[in-house]
Chain A
């Protein structure tokens, strides 16, 4: 357990929209018995990744091609890339760790902490994003609010993207060192250069195509692990029996022990789970994080853009089993996991099962899947960073009104600079992991006020141009003050980092909202003409385009897809609530 009394160097393998703090490097005895077959599988994968980069290069002619795939991709590709961008290895290992530590509470990060927000993005927000033809999330803030909101969100996003890319790279280096025995710097440089090569060559198309491929390789890695892990503990009933004996019945339920005031390992109650995780953190992450939204903006038409997060929602509902079950099995097989007595950290859950269960061949697939997941996480951040830096910072405030080819060249240059900066960040992280953990928590709060600005800006015409900037600033500062001062200095009493994270998010949301409201009352609103297509109840001029042939098929109706995902996610809770 994470005790506040003990100062451990914390380096989190952090799922993107939470700030769980975990323990550092993986145990050294996890070295995998890889052979030539496994390495051949890995080598083939790297060749294909580069091949996609070279092939996608032919499609880059304008800056829109490079940064947004020319807004031309079909929904199944953008949808799977959307989920893959989220399914970074930090997410996989982090959520397995979460399950080993907290049990079945992990399902909340998926069914309530993802699905409603993804459906909201597809059904409600996408018409504004895609219809207004913005090329990035900050660009929407520029149209809806003013330059200050735009510049603040662009700069913070650019920093956060490089930081997260670097964190992914460092986490990859830790895992590769433990599993394959490569020195950390080799892994950092090799993975960094591969990502650099394929994004510089093919831009977003290359990143997205690789993400779709990665999605299937990751599944091919996780499914055998999950099946064999379940078999080892005697199926689901054998697993729950063992865990009930070890940790009590609440460990295998979603809501057990989450009554307000009753203690539970997560340190959160049903209210903070629903409001903090399910509403504020999750909506903030899924609807305003450009690394995700960018995938939808590259779709070929509005219908495909709307379906992007909805198609992604279905795998998201079920992927939880592929990360939670290995985590739970690890907790059942190694009762002392997470303590020094076992020599295994929570983060080791999946690598431990790979070592225990997988023969050569499938082992190679699993290693490839894990590396693919790290690269997906990094590439999603690099490809969104270069877009925001070029479109939102460079071309609007630094070098304006140049010919389009210039911005393509600049995009390639800034991709290289971004990857180099991530490599630098990864090396920094290896020496100052505490600082990086704080920075990561800090940036996780930034999505919260972004969401406030979006939700108020989209639904309240009166929200003034100035209110965006002040809402963003106030929300970010409040969430940070609550977390780093109120919680870390024990002014308010919350049992865990996780619980504090939820409460901070709620505080930031409320503060951002109040400040936007007050500032709007004292400043003048934008004219109705300027808000066309940006506020609920208005339409963009470009929105009138007729549906493409075939998009009226029943299985392509966004409303049906969206509500279907919500209903399935809700139904999944039933067996975990008994």
Chain B
């Protein structure tokens, strides 16, 4: 596999005629991009407005943990026999409950940082 040899003597290459000053130029420079992205970053409010995921994970796993633990406490002998004599619902339920509590505790100890000062914190409740 090699490049088309005839392409080397054609200055315009594979992509049709090009003016010499365009040669190798992508029509889009890093400087343009930096300006555009910085501008968007400045207007972006995600950092200030996105909710904290730890609450969702914590809540869901506490709920799942409680449900599965109850299934474990009330497990029938058949269910335990099926799982090789392990009360797997109980253990999984406790594990999920602990994971959920871990996330809630983490959230409590390290709360979401307040919005950055330049994003006008006052408009938060009024937004949308």
Contacts and interface: CB of A to CB of B under 8 A. Distances in A.
Asked if A and B are interacting partners, one says yes
27 contacts: A37-B71, A61-B43, A64-B41, A65-B46, A70-B41, A70-B44, A77-B53, A132-B30, A134-B33, A135-B37, A145-B26, A220-B92, A223-B95, A224-B92, A228-B88, A360-B79, A361-B93, A362-B83, A362-B88, A465-B23, A474-B2, A514-B2, A515-B3, A523-B24, A525-B24, A530-B29, A541-B31
B44 A65 contact: yes
Given A132-B33, A132-B34, 20 more contacts: A44-B60, A58-B51, A69-B50, A146-B25, A148-B14, A216-B57, A216-B61, A220-B96, A223-B92, A224-B88, A359-B75, A360-B71, A361-B89, A365-B96, A396-B28, A465-B23, A465-B25, A465-B26, A530-B25, A542-B34
Contacts of B86: 227-228, 231
How would you classify the secondary structure of chain A's contact residues: helix, strand, loop or mixed?
helix
Interface string A505-542: 00000010011001100111110001011100000111
Interface stretch (A48-56, A258-266, A318-326): A48-56
Interface stretch (A17-25, A90-98, A205-213, A422-430): A205-213
B105 interface: no
Interface in A531-555: 532-534, 540-542
A295 interface: no
Nearest to A56: B50
Contacts of B127: 58
Given A465-B24, A469-B14, A359 B64 contact: no
Nearest to A518: B3
Of B15, B63, B127, most A-chain CB atoms within 10 Å: B15
A434 interface: no
Contacts of B91: 224
Nearest to B20: A524
Interface string A195-231: 0000000000100010011001000100110011001
A522 B3 CA distance: 11
Contacts of B27: 147
A507 B18 CA distance: 32
A63 interface: yes
Interface residues of A, number: 85
Of A359, A481, A542, most B-chain CB atoms within 10 Å: A359
B56 A365 contact: no
A357 B83 contact: yes
Interface residues of B, number: 59
Interface string B87-105: 0110111011001000000
Contacts of A532: 30
Given A474-B2, A481-B1, A147 B88 contact: no
Given A404-B40, A518-B3, A59 B26 contact: no
Of B31, B49, B61, B75, most A-chain CB atoms within 10 Å: B49
A188 to B, nearest CB: 26
A143 B8 contact: no
Contact of B63 (A37, A44, A356): A44
Given A37-B71, A228-B83, A466-B13, A205 B46 contact: yes
B96 to A, nearest CB: 6
A72 B116 CA distance: 12
Contacts of A359: 71, 75, 78-80, 82-83, 88-89
A40 interface: yes
Interface string A440-464: 0000000000000000000000001
A60 B127 CA distance: 12
B101 to A, nearest CB: 13
A250 interface: no
B34 A540 contact: yes
Interface in A390-432: 396, 404
A148 B28 contact: no
A62 B43 contact: yes
B56 A530 contact: no
A336 interface: no
A59 B28 contact: no
B128 interface: yes
Nearest to A44: B63
B14 A365 contact: no
Contact of A228 (B3, B25, B47, B84): B84
A470 interface: yes
A478 interface: yes
Contacts of B24: 146, 464-466, 523-526
Contacts of A139: 33
Contacts of B89: 359, 361-362
B57 A533 contact: no
A45 B3 CA distance: 53
Contacts of B80: 359
Nearest to B24: A465
A524 B23 contact: yes
A231 B14 CA distance: 62
Interface in A137-151: 139, 142-143, 145-148, 150
Contacts of B64: 41, 44, 220, 365
A361 B71 contact: yes
A242 interface: no
